[in-house]
Amino acid sequence: MTFVARRRAEASSRDYFDDLYEKNGCIPPQDQMAIDLRLSFFTKYVLERGVNFYQTPTEKDWMYVARREYRYDVNLRAVADGTAAGLSASMCRMFMVKKFIWWPFVPVALFTYAYRSKQLFVLHNKKFFDMCNVGEQYEVGYARNTVLKACNKLLDREDF
């Protein structure tokens, strides 16, 4: 069941970005600012803090889930893509020189990981941001709603 929900969320994100590129040819500046606000919120309140930093069990649970989703959707997929690209580069170079070499693996894998992790973080930013919606009475929920109001004002929408 979670695979179906993940695929729907990813398809929704891809549709959103495809629509932006189709209409504008790029991501408009106000949309990019909203994305940057959501990314900085998630980095500050989820990735840079330990789970035990939060005082209530609800916040601890949801921030743990959000961090776990980040690990699977961004880090592990970027590592897999980097490994595949590094191995492919090594195989191509081995085929070119007809000798066993591994040096292309590391630089290609590291570059691909860095590129894909940023790309996947931007792709899934709305899902991660929505996972932090725990309510106004919690610190994370209040901060999220503040960022949400700023995003709504930037994009001239009622709800984001």
- What are the backbone dihedrals phi and psi of residue 138, each rounded to the nearest 5 degrees, phi first? -100, 155
Going residue by residue through the chain, which has 160 residues, state the pLDDT in tens, using 9 for 90 and above.
Answer: 455 666 776 777 788 778 777 888 887 888 889 999 999 999 999 999 888 888 899 999 999 999 999 999 999 999 999 999 999 999 999 999 999 989 999 999 999 999 999 999 999 998 999 888 888 899 899 999 999 999 999 888 776 5
Biggest CA–CA distance in the chain, Å, is 64
Tokens of 153: 């004002």
> For residue 156, what pLDDT is reported?
82
pTM reported for the whole predicted model: 0.83
Q: What is the pLDDT of residue 114?
A: 97
Confidence (pLDDT) at 29: 86
Q: What is the 3-state secondary structure (H, E, C) of the chain?
A: CHHHHHHHHHHHHHHHHHHHHHHHCCCCHHHHHHHHHHHHHHHHHHHCCCHHHCCCHHHHHHHHHHHHHHHHHHHHHHHHHHHHHHHHHHHHHHHHHCCCCCCCHHHHHHHHHHHHHHHHHHHCHHHHHHHCCCCCCCHHHHHHHHHHHHHHHHHCCCCC
pLDDT of residue 1: 45
pLDDT value of residue 142:
92
Domain ranges of the chain: 2-155
